[in-house]
């Protein structure tokens, strides 16, 4: 098929088509094949992410069309970096000069079992990687974890899930680091990372926390997990907090945006206790900087009269004069089959009269099929 002249296709149309097809690889490849005008934007999307675990693809790209590697923004490593031709692979990785995100899954990092060659590690260290995601990664100890993270000296955003050290002692600490990077956002799965890994994050060993803006965590912190988590939450620079799980009682007056995920599972006091703990956190005596509060409420069991009363306690706390900057309190209600969503909505609104009067309260019903 002959290529269509780029002069016959308006740029606005090209941009619109590529934007519509940004997640449809087959169609993008077709556009790339039939019209030169599509090649640059299509290639930029087709090669946003590459796998470093399949050496033939990245190595062949480097050998056949090295310019394409400039389009790569993210890379994934699954278990290992393939090194059929270690020298070519290291050169290919070094060519990813615009790489800003890396995702590593199912890897073991212990002596004599390193899954990334030293040459590739050296190449990664030179790249402008800002976002690092680790999922199901096991290290021998905290020293190896910290050493591995030194591969990414400019990291600003870290996500950790199922990250463990085989050896965990009471007071083990990462070596003193000369890192100068600044951590801006963290995403942590609390019950799925070793306590010494969490301490290493919280004490600034992976980067300065003086400009930490966003913290998201999933899980119910217990025991050794609580002190480092409290340290992160109380960081005065923190502005955005998202929690899927429990929170220790801690002051939140410095935070501007809070997103809470709550669930009513059965005839238990768990939901009431959780909402009560959040109310205690919000009701501390200092004037609050809170602008936006969003509560995702997953109702799998009809709420009781006592549950409704806890909403009234929250309403009273948020209506105090110590919340002068509150502009939005939004509850997003998701009701399971058999639960009357409208009835639940009315019950919550009835117990939040002060917020409703201030016109800052909204309650949305989410489609339960989503």
Confidence of residue 42 (pLDDT cuts 50, 70, 90): very low
296-325 core/surface letters (b: 16 or more CB in 10 A; e: else): bbbbebbbeeebbebbebbbbbbbeebbee
User: Which of residues 357 and 131 earns the better pLDDT score?
Assistant: 131
Q: DSSP alpha helices (H): ranges in 291-352?
A: 305-318, 341-350
SS3 call for 7 = helix
Per-residue pLDDT averaged across 144-172, rounded? 91
Task: Give the pair of three-digit tokens for residue 151.
Answer: 């591969």
Query: Strand ranges (DSSP E) for 110-238?
Result: 131-139, 157-165, 185-189, 214-219
Q: What pLDDT does residue 110 have?
A: 82
Q: What pLDDT does residue 5 have?
A: 47
User: Domain locations in the chain?
Assistant: 12-45, 243-370
Percentage helix, strand, coil, to 5, in the chain? Answer: 40, 25, 40
Q: What pLDDT does residue 284 have?
A: 79
Give 211-259 pLDDT, tens digit per residue. Answer: 999 999 999 999 999 999 999 999 999 999 999 999 998 999 999 999 9
Give 50-73 pLDDT, tens digit per residue. Answer: 888 865 567 777 776 677 788 888
Residue 29 above 60 pLDDT? no
Give 185-212 pLDDT, tens digit per residue. Answer: 999 999 999 999 999 999 999 999 999 9
pTM: 0.85
């Amino acid at each position: 098929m002959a290529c269509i002249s780029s002069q016959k296709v308006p740029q606005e149309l090209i941009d619109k088509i590529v934007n519509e097809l940004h997640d449809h690889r087959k169609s993008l490849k077709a556009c790339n094949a039939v019209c030169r005008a599509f090649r640059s934007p299509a290639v930029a999307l087709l090669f946003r992410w590459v796998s470093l675990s399949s050496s033939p693809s990245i190595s062949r790209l480097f050998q056949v069309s090295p310019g394409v590697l400039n389009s790569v923004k993210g890379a994934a490593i699954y278990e290992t970096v393939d090194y059929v031709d270690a020298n070519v692979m290291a050169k290919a990785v070094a060519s990813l000069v615009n790489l800003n995100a890396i995702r590593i899954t199912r890897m073991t990092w212990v002596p004599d079992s390193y899954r990334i060659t030293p040459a590739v590690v050296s190449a990664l260290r030179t790249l402008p990687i800002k976002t690092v995601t680790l999922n199901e990664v096991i290290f021998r100890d905290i020293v190896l974890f910290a050493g591995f993270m030194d591969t990414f000296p400019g990291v600003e955003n870290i996500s950790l899930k199922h990250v463990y050290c085989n050896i965990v002692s009471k007071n083990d600490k990462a070596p003193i680091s000369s890192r100068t990077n600044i951590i801006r956002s963290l995403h942590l799965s609390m019950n799925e990372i070793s306590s010494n890994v969490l301490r290493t994050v919280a004490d600034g060993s992976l980067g300065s926390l003086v400009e930490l803006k966003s913290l998201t965590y999933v899980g119910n912190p217990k025991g050794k997990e609580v002190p480092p988590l409290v340290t992160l939450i109380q960081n005065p620079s923190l502005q955005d907090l998202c929690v899927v799980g429990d929170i220790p009682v801690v002051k939140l007056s410095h935070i501007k945006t809070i997103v809470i995920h709550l669930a009513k599972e059965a005839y238990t006091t768990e939901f009431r206790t959780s909402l009560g703990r959040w109310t205690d956190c919000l009701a501390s005596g200092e004037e609050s900087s809170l602008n936006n509060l969003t509560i995702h409420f997953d109702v799998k069991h009809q709420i009781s009269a006592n549950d409704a009363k806890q909403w009234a306690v929250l309403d009273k706390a948020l209506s105090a004069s110590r919340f002068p900057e509150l502009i939005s309190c939004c509850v997003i209600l998701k009701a399971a089959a058999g639960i009357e969503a409208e009835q639940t909505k009315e019950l919550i609104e009835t117990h939040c009269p002060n917020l409703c009067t201030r016109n800052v309260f909204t309650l949305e019903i989410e489609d339960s099929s989503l």
